[in-house]
Structure 1
């Protein structure tokens, strides 16, 4: 399990972005370096936790702990648009499929050890947590089919009750109260990621270690069934 360390001196708010990282990815690609390596090096140089760019707000660090590296990768790719193979770029950003097969250690060295730790927080706290919900959803649907009861009404709350011991609505309301967010019907993508990460930490605080390990394994197995890695080192999915 990744360390949930909000005190790492990794990101500082800088609305204007990080000029040094942008210059690096441009110059490195122009100099003949593979674009994916240049991109990861630029990610290692990046210093902003969030920024507003071209009318869009990018949040790269969820709850000060979980590094959304593909969000930053997309932002940096925009600065060299036209210099990248479209098929490789789309495969990375939309399917998490990198153009080069790097080892975990190579990836860690390129983005830096601090960012790598917070990247693991995102993997376990958001990617695996989302997969866990899908796995439990499949379990409940299978149980209903086996019993001859196919009504999926309110299945979300069944999933959340089984996973967290409370309904989705109650958990979302608690999350928003804690963060002083408005109680509204819709939810934007950044808030959804924050809510997912909040649920992950909620499980850590309310479940015993055996249950946490079991649920983590269940989420990882779901990712394997989906054939999904989002460019997280393969052994995170295959060795756990």
Structure 2
């Protein structure tokens, strides 16, 4: 069984190398816009994680939440010399695609399965992070009117959303995942934790509360995007 697993991983790595080579060739030969070629490469990509240099890229969280921008970042290492740097930076740093695509077109390009996994990541990580920020704003605002309020803001936020302190939740997450105590958490592991918190919220809250909190997270995301646009007026004008 272990031998089969290693062989499958080797096959997926070889397949990924072939996809990278094909992507470079398509861009060099001018086969359509580079972003479309990138998305079509993502659609064919089957490797859930890999080591590139000293960095681990984990594209799939809990086997169901797909971070397509992380895969785009990894592929950018291979095509950075072939595409406009300003377009690449806008995509990787701000999530702004060089082409306008509606959701149906994006879904078609990356495939239905990856699109569903992308939605899991969008709601389970990005919206969940925004929900935490929105509740943090509420906690901080309340503390400004109550000078005797003590305790960690993070703990208040987590208790309101998930019913336990951040430390308690972190310990439960590590125990469930079999992670050693005291190990430093990187950005990807923190995103895995955020997705785990999302699943906990779905498990413990009634549907009306889940929907209300999700709307709050979406509203915070919209506010953050509006603020970002106001800070970058020249980019918006082209």
Same fold (TM over 0.5): yes
Higher helix share: 2
Instruction: Map 1:1-240 to 2 at 5 A.
Output: 13=9, 14-15=12-13, 18-32=16-30, 33-145=32-144, 147-149=145-147, 153-184=151-182, 186-227=184-225
Q: Tell me the CA shift for residue 55 of structure 1.
A: 2.2
RMSD: 1.7
Query: Quick one: structure 1 residues 61 and 94, their matched pair in 2 at CA, closer, same or farther if it must change by over 3 Å?
Result: same
**Structure 1 stretches of at least 4 aligned residues deviating more than 4 Å after TM superposition:** 150-153
Q: 2-side partners of 1:132 and 1:190: how far apart?
A: 19
Q: Tell me the CA shift for residue 20 of structure 1.
A: 3.1
On the 8 A contact 1:16/1:52 being kept in 2, the answer is: no
Q: Tell me the CA shift for residue 87 of structure 1.
A: 1.0
Q: Tell me the CA shift for residue 131 of structure 1.
A: 0.3
Q: Tell me the CA shift for residue 29 of structure 1.
A: 1.0
Structure 1 stretches lacking a partner, 5+ long: 1-11, 229-240
On the 8 A contact 1:68/1:119 being kept in 2, the answer is: yes
Q: 2-side partners of 1:191 and 1:184: how far apart?
A: 13
Q: Tell me the CA shift for residue 149 of structure 1.
A: 2.6
With structure 1 as the length reference, what TM-score do the two structures score? Answer: 0.85
Larger RCO (CA under 8 A, 6+ residues apart)? 1
Structure 2 stretches lacking a partner, 5+ long: 1-7, 227-238
On the 8 A contact 1:16/1:51 being kept in 2, the answer is: no
Q: Tell me the CA shift for residue 61 of structure 1.
A: 0.3
Q: Tell me the CA shift for residue 207 of structure 1.
A: 0.4
Q: Tell me the CA shift for residue 148 of structure 1.
A: 4.5
Q: 2-side partners of 1:191 and 1:156: how far apart?
A: 18
On the 8 A contact 1:15/1:50 being kept in 2, the answer is: no
Q: Tell me the secondary structure at the aligned position of residue 18 of structure 1.
A: helix
Q: 2-side partners of 1:208 and 1:224: how far apart?
A: 25
Query: Quick one: structure 1 residues 152 and 20, their matched pair in 2 at CA, closer, same or farther if it must change by over 3 Å?
Result: farther
Residue number in structure 1 paired with 2:235: none
Q: Tell me the secondary structure at the aligned position of residue 57 of structure 2.
A: strand
Q: Tell me the secondary structure at the aligned position of residue 227 of structure 1.
A: helix
On the 8 A contact 1:20/1:45 being kept in 2, the answer is: no
How many residues in Structure 1 have an aligned counterpart in Structure 2? 216
Residue deviations 1:183-225 (CA, integer Å, cap 9, x gap): 2163111211110000000001000000000000000000000
